[in-house]
Amino acid sequence: MTTDTDLLILAQWLSPAYPLGAFAWSQGLEMAVADGHVTDAATLRDWVADTLEHGAGRSDAILIRLGHACEADALARLNETALAFAPSQERRLEMTRQGTAFCKTTAATSRIDLPDMVLPVALGRAARLTGLDLDLTVALYLQSQVSNLVSAAQRLMALGQTEGQGVVAGLRPLCRTIAEATRGAGEDDLYSAAYLADIASMRHETLQPRLFQS
Amino acid sequence: MPRADGQGWLSVKARDGQSVLDRFRTRGALKMLFPVRTPRAEAILINTAGGLTGGDRLQLSVEVQAGAHLTMTTQAAERVYRAREDTARVTSDITVGAGAHLSWLPQELIVYEGGALDRRLAIDLDASASLLMVEPVIFGRRAMAETLRAGHLSDRIRVSRAGRPLYLDGTELHGDIAATLARRALGQGAGAMASLLYVAPDAGAHLDALRAALRAALPATGGASLLAPDTLALRCLAEDGFALRAALLPILDRLSRDTLPASWRL
């Protein structure tokens, strides 16, 4: 059951102020802008919706759930599975660096034991140890990812604050849908069809100049 | 087309600096051919049913023993025909031993309108084994202007090393596959896709050359990345199977050190 405290904890962990360095990563969006795949609010919305529904959003949601269900002695293995599924070096780094930062800060402030793990697995584990509502954790995580991508887009192209927040608001139902649709999903449900997003994250490695690390 | 059922077992070993057949057996619709090609072993898989349809089952089990080198390919592209009911199932389980190498180079999988396939490929590498793997998929027959408005493709590739996950790839496309692949971050209308993985100590040395090859052939729809110092992944999309193969050929020639099976030539 969701309590107000759950919401307060998640609002802290998934806020841009939580020191994960999320502002430095774009999941390949910077390349998608450079390639002309994303040029305005409408194309940004399509791109982000696709990655939520068919790519990293959906698979991260599953990894949060698996991290939540996982016993302590199986976490290292789950972490390896998460890394094996990541499509590119920069996506691996993004998950690893943000995960390490999340574990460090959260272990210290919530007094829980969190060995270094990739971000979605670590969030699932922390949610379990803190007794947070899992559906809410997944949905808020997805919305934080959308927010971060929109904020990245605003640094990459002409996109007003209101337009950007319109994209976030418009994708709210999809965040909920994916959070619910990934209930009960297992490792075999890790698949992706966001091919161009994966390819963009690979191609981003050689993009110059660039603002983001992915 | 009658329902096809086939199984194959193959084990290759190193002997006097060459790779030779140790054991092999096939049953039903799955056959294997072994062109003479020393010092490496090559096996060509043949589905004598001429394609896959609902209810078909193909099972392959392969062992590349310590120090051996095996190249596997298919005699032709594998066609997934319209299935009235049930899906076709294809599973391949492969182990690659110490210091051994596998080149897994099947020709394209072609999913026809209404085709339904569940496919699982599992490759377990020894800590000192190496691998070159490609899986090209074509969605519909472009030459016949076929778009996939109904189909089912459930595909998983699991590569592990010393029992630990190294590379996982999953595809789950159902229903109006053409509409799904038309989406902005998915395929923007691509008709063919390939996943490639190369695991060897010299993986990093190939990255720039692979990127240059992709820039020449598929400038905006191909990417390569070094997942680990010895693990190189490549993903590309192309308009059709012809463009995909044209892009893959120089890359596979390079990574296979010009040992690409003859069936791959255009």
Is residue A10 within 8 Å of A140, Cβ to Cβ?
A: yes
Supply the angle between the helices A75-85 and A89-110 in degrees, to the nearest 10.
150
- Answer yes or no: do B185 and A197 touch at CB < 8 A: yes
With bands split at pLDDT 50, 70 and 90, how would you rate the model's confidence at B266? low
* Strands lying side by side in the sheet with B18-28: B18-28, B5-15, B57-64, B88-96, B116-125, B152-161, B164-174
Chain A residues closer than 8 Å to B199 by CB:
none
Q: How far is B221 from chain A (nearest CA, A)?
A: 7
Measure the CA–CA gap between B175 and B153, rounded to whole angstroms. 9
Is residue B234 within 8 Å of B224, Cβ to Cβ?
A: yes
- Answer yes or no: do A37 and B236 touch at CB < 8 A: no
**Number of domains into which chain A is organized:** 1
Is residue B63 within 8 Å of B10, Cβ to Cβ?
A: yes
The verdict on residue B43 lying in a domain is yes
Is residue B115 within 8 Å of B141, Cβ to Cβ?
A: no
Per-residue pLDDT reduced to its tens digit, B65-112: 999 999 999 999 999 999 888 899 999 999 999 999 999 999 999 999
DSSP SS3 for B114: coil
Quick one: tokens of A37?
């795949």
Domain, as residue range, for B94: 5-261
The verdict on residue B132 lying in a domain is yes
Chain B residues closer than 8 Å to A198 by CB:
223, 235
Q: Average per-residue pLDDT in chain B?
A: 94
Measure the CA–CA gap between B27 and B9, rounded to whole angstroms. 9
**DSSP one-letter code for B148:** -
Chain B residues closer than 8 Å to A196 by CB:
184-188, 221, 237
Chain B residue nearest residue A191, CA to CA: B170
What CATH code is carried by the domain that includes residue A35? 1.10.4190.10
Give the start-end residues of each E strand in chain B: 5-15, 18-28, 30-33, 41-47, 57-64, 69-74, 78-80, 88-96, 101-105, 109-111, 116-125, 130-139, 152-161, 164-174, 192-199, 222-228, 231-238
The verdict on residue B105 lying in a domain is yes
- Answer yes or no: do B223 and A84 touch at CB < 8 A: no
Position A27 pLDDT exceeds 80: yes
The distance from CA A65 to its chain's CA centroid, rounded to whole angstroms, is: 13
Is residue B138 within 8 Å of B115, Cβ to Cβ?
A: no
- Answer yes or no: do A37 and B226 touch at CB < 8 A: no
Please compute the mean of the pLDDT values over residues B112-132 and round it to a whole number. 97
Measure the CA–CA gap between A57 and A214, rounded to whole angstroms. 16
The verdict on residue B25 lying in a domain is yes
pTM equals 0.96
Is residue B47 within 8 Å of B6, Cβ to Cβ?
A: yes
Position A72 pLDDT exceeds 90: yes
Supply the angle between the helices A172-181 and A161-170 in degrees, to the nearest 10.
30
Chain B residues closer than 8 Å to A188 by CB:
156, 170
Measure the CA–CA gap between A200 and A195, rounded to whole angstroms. 8
- Answer yes or no: do B186 and A205 touch at CB < 8 A: no
Q: How far is A8 from chain B (nearest CA, A)?
A: 33
- Answer yes or no: do B223 and A199 touch at CB < 8 A: yes
Position B16 pLDDT exceeds 60: yes
The verdict on residue A144 lying in a domain is yes
- Identify the residue whose tokens are 């039903």: B28
- B235 bridge partner residues: B195, B223
The distance from CA A104 to its chain's CA centroid, rounded to whole angstroms, is: 18
Is residue B4 within 8 Å of B58, Cβ to Cβ?
A: yes
Measure the CA–CA gap between A6 and A131, rounded to whole angstroms. 8
The verdict on residue A41 lying in a domain is yes
CB atoms within 10 A of CB B153: 21
Please compute the mean of the pLDDT values over residues A127-149 and round it to a whole number. 98
Is residue B201 within 8 Å of B192, Cβ to Cβ?
A: no
ipTM for the complex? 0.95
Quick one: tokens of A193?
């069809």
Residues of B with CB under 8 A from a CB of A: 156, 159, 164-173, 180-181, 183-188, 190, 193, 211, 220-227, 233-237
The reported pLDDT for the residue numbered B3 is 77
- Answer yes or no: do B173 and A193 touch at CB < 8 A: yes
What pairing do the DSSP bridges indicate for beta strands B69-74 and B164-174?
Answer: unpaired
**Number of domains into which chain B is organized:** 1
Q: Is B105 exposed, middle or buried (0-12, 13-18, 19+ CB in 10 A)?
A: buried
Per-residue pLDDT reduced to its tens digit, B197-234: 999 999 999 999 999 999 999 999 999 999 999 999 99
The verdict on residue B66 lying in a domain is yes
The verdict on residue A158 lying in a domain is yes
Domain, as residue range, for A119: 30-205
With bands split at pLDDT 50, 70 and 90, how would you rate the model's confidence at B37? low
Closest CA to B138 of B127, B148, B125: B148
Measure the CA–CA gap between B138 and B144, rounded to whole angstroms. 13
The verdict on residue A75 lying in a domain is yes
CB atoms within 10 A of CB B143: 9
Closest CA to A8 of A121, A132, A119: A132
Per-residue pLDDT reduced to its tens digit, A74-117: 999 999 999 999 999 999 999 999 999 999 999 999 999 999 99
With bands split at pLDDT 50, 70 and 90, how would you rate the model's confidence at B146? confident
The verdict on residue A187 lying in a domain is yes
- B161 bridge partner residues: B125, B164
Quick one: tokens of B204?
């990093």
The reported pLDDT for the residue numbered B188 is 94
Measure the CA–CA gap between A187 and A168, rounded to whole angstroms. 28
- Answer yes or no: do B184 and A37 touch at CB < 8 A: yes
Distances B27 to A40, B5, B9, B35, B93 between C-alpha atoms, Å: 57, 8, 9, 20, 16
Measure the CA–CA gap between A98 and A13, rounded to whole angstroms. 12
- Identify the residue whose tokens are 């110059």: A208
The verdict on residue A130 lying in a domain is yes
